Amino acid sequence: MAEKQENQLKHKVMLTGARPFWDNQLKRLFIKENWDFFQATDNLEQTRETLRIYNIPVIIYVWPAERIAKERIDGLQQLADILALAYEYEAESVYFISTAAAVKQDTAERAADGMAMVAETAVRAWSEWAVIPVTIIRLPEVFGPDSGPEDGLVARTLYASLKKEILPRMDDETTPRDFLYSADAVYGIYRAVARGCQGRVLNLGTGKGLNAGDFADWIKAVTELPGIYDEGNDFKEFPYVQPVLESKTAQKELGWQLKYDRKEALAQTWDYIQAKVEANRLEAQKRVRNIRWQKWYKAVIPYGENVIGAILMAAIVYWQNGKTINPQTQLDVNFIYIGTMGILYGKRQAFIAMTISVVIFIVAYLARGGELISFTYVPENILHVTAYLFTAALTGYFADARRFERESMAWQREQARERQFFLRGLYEENLAVKDKLYRQIVNSDDSIGRLYRIITRLDSVEPENIFTQAAAVTAQILAVDNIAIYVVGPDGYYLRQKVRMGLLMRKQPRSLRVADHTYLQDILQKHTIFVNRELVKDTPDLAAPIVYQDKVIAVITIFGLHFEQWSLYQQNLLSITTRLISASMGRAYRYEQEVQEKRFIAGTRILQAEEFQKIIMELENRRQLQGELPVAVLKVDMSEFDYAGLDSRLSHVIRNEDFVGVGNSGVYILLPDASQEVTAMVQQRLLHAGVKTAVCEAVV
């Protein structure tokens, strides 16, 4: 039980982006501090699945340190993918590990790292859009154990000096550069994440840079190597532009301090690299010895086995009193010897075995008293030797044929594997292009996928919820800020404002008289979209009807269109949107008619307690959407009549958009969008109808 509670209390973090050499150090530190640590793979779908399953709130993205164009371009694409996943799965915070080169300094002789600056600008803009805090942590060159031959200037220099290769050299010898030990860098990142530092820019560094001469002295003092920048040495330039940054903010916010001085850190790095190079050298020597041994073994072992077979055959002939044919079985054991060598190793070893068998046969013949001259005159001897030759040729041929077949099949498999890799490469390239085009299509403003995701919010059978979502959906599809939905009254003479969004809509009237507005008359009669081409004051820029059973039940009005939005394209989008809203509203009305008995108390328009609670929740959602929505709640005194009596008295007293329902301790009347003055007026009207009420709650 305790273990389960401990697992539930664990924080979760995912490392994405480039794979720095210090990623395992960061992983060990987080795990040591009881965090669940995840590392993203190059497969975007696997990363998506990990985020979906484990609900990881913290994402760390590492920007590539090396200035390789392909890596930087891939890094931007990967950054966009990770930020999209962070938004999709509602990450709580993102930490962007950048390089100090992203900072532009006027004193630097060379320009800063433009791609890193673009990446930082992108994550800042994304943070404002997604409302997810992003912390930027800048690092200078990081060195330390686990570094490879390509991990920065320090590692390149140390590896090159041990391997007797051409040394790298700063292309700018006068501008100081900073170097940070990996343990200090990892600890600073952990402190930022563990302390929940959000929305800040933190610089981690020593604050003391080294120019080319200082760097050479630092390397020489620790490694005791000769002067690496002495004349006569060959160098290749190392593009290295990273300014020295102050880390006062990180020290103040995180309590971060350098734990290792520069010489101690380099000494530990030097020990690691020396051990790694030596281990690699020993491993290479061992691998060469194994290859040589295997080659020698494969070449010598057939001859050794052939010699052993020859000795064994000679011993058997000697045991059989100089006869190769066994008197009991009438079988010449040399045939077995020749056949075995032929089957195992092919014709070469088979013919060697045949030659040895012929020698054994002749020696045995001579030992029995025969003469070498008369050996060839005995037909049985010639036939015997011929049988040896035939056995060697036959078994050797079949063995070589099988070997050639195996080699051919191996070659064919290799060719097939190469073709498979080639085709797989083409497939992955095509898949990458497809995914890129898919993202462009899906994320475009008018894509079917985007419209579908937005429209699915209308999948409801609650009319109030559909009105709320209709405003949000229309605003999102048309990219507008000021929108209102007016509901047509039962008599068709007035429209009452149901939902509104935007500052401009607060100034618009809450009800509209149809006779006062020509555009409303046209919409109600013709069911067409209105476009304010003449820019009439206090008239919406666009307006469209919501139709149910060939009757306009509501009108969507839009104000404050930008210049580029006055287009036929925008009108078509509004037309499609209103049709979809009308379809959803039709489903909701049909559903409401079918469940009339379940929603209302029998014979009345008073909502059951459960349905009344849904209306309250929907008004709360609407308030969150439009920013402000005053709602008055009146409790009805039911001492003088029952539900049916109350319903008959309220039939012409309250508005169509008001709601009557059963609450926890009685019957209540909800007055949406009602100020204190309107509430008092409604109370007086109810009192004249014989209904006593009391304001029990006011939501402003």
Q: What is the pLDDT of residues 156-214, one digit of tens each?
A: 888 888 877 777 766 555 667 888 999 999 999 999 999 888 888 888 888 888 877 78
pLDDT number for residue 241:
47
Minimal CA–CA distance to 171: which of 239, 106, 233, 227?
239
Which run of H or E residues covers position 649?
Answer: helix 643-650
Q: Whole-model pTM?
A: 0.50
690 phi/psi in degrees, rounded to 5: 90, 15
pLDDT number for residue 188:
92
pLDDT number for residue 445:
54
DSSP 370: -
pLDDT number for residue 700:
33
Three-state secondary structure readout of 153-216: HHHHHHHHHHCCCCEEEECCCCCCECEEEHHHHHHHHHHHHHCCCCCCEEECCCCCCECHHHHH
Low-confidence ranges of the chain (pLDDT < 50): 1-8, 104-111, 232, 241, 698-700
What is the rounded distance in angstroms from the CA atom of residue 699 to the CA atom of residue 624? 13
Which run of H or E residues covers position 220?
Answer: helix 212-223
Amino acid identity at 623: R
pLDDT number for residue 699:
37
- CATH number for region 10-280: 3.40.50.720
pLDDT number for residue 339:
81
Tokens at 457, concatenated: 């919010």
Residues 6+ apart with CB under 8 A from 463: 585, 588, 589, 592
Asked whether 485 and 467 are in contact (CB, 8 A), the reply is: yes
Q: Are strands 666-672 and 201-203 parallel, antiparallel or unpaired?
A: unpaired
Q: Percent of the chain at pLDDT above 70? A: 85
Q: What are the sequence ranges of the domains in the chain?
A: 10-280, 600-700
What is the rounded distance in angstroms from the CA atom of residue 689 to the CA atom of residue 646? 10
pLDDT number for residue 446:
52
pLDDT number for residue 111:
42
CATH class of the structural domain 600-700: alpha beta
pLDDT number for residue 57:
92
Tokens at 511, concatenated: 């009800």
Asked whether 354 and 388 are in contact (CB, 8 A), the reply is: yes
- Cα–Cα distances in angstroms (integers) from residue 688 to residues 338, 662, 683, in the given order: 124, 22, 9
Tens of pLDDT, residue by residue over 498-553, are 888 888 877 788 888 888 888 898 888 888 889 888 888 888 989 999 888 888 88
Which residues sit opposite 556 in a β-bridge? 485, 544
CA–chain centroid gap for 514, Å, is 53
Asked whether 135 and 96 are in contact (CB, 8 A), the reply is: yes
Minimal CA–CA distance to 100: which of 61, 147, 136?
136
Residues 6+ apart with CB under 8 A from 50: 14, 38, 40, 56
Minimal CA–CA distance to 601: which of 655, 664, 644, 637?
644
Letter string b/e over residues 429-465, b meaning 16 or more CB atoms within 10 A of that residue's CB: eeeeeeeeeeeeeeeeeeeeebbeebbebbebebbbb
Helices first, then strands: H and E counts in the chain: 22, 20
Check for a shared fold between 10-280 and 600-700.
no
Calculate helix-pair angle for 379-443, 347-367, nearest 10 degrees: 160
pLDDT number for residue 66:
65
CA–chain centroid gap for 339, Å, is 62
Minimal CA–CA distance to 29: which of 185, 248, 201?
185
Minimal CA–CA distance to 498: which of 490, 489, 700?
489
pLDDT number for residue 461:
65
Residues 6+ apart with CB under 8 A from 75: 17, 18, 63, 64, 115, 119
The answer to whether the Cα torsion of 658, 661, 664, 665 is positive or negative is positive
pLDDT number for residue 597:
63
Q: Are strands 666-672 and 93-99 parallel, antiparallel or unpaired?
A: unpaired
What is the rounded distance in angstroms from the CA atom of residue 52 to the CA atom of residue 224? 52
Q: How many other C-beta atoms can be found within 10 angstroms of the C-beta atom of residue 647?
A: 17
What is the rounded distance in angstroms from the CA atom of residue 77 to the CA atom of residue 75? 5
Give alpha helix (H) positions in 114-164.
Answer: 114-130, 152-162
What is the rounded distance in angstroms from the CA atom of residue 61 to the CA atom of residue 497? 47
* Length reported for the chain: 700
pLDDT number for residue 364:
79
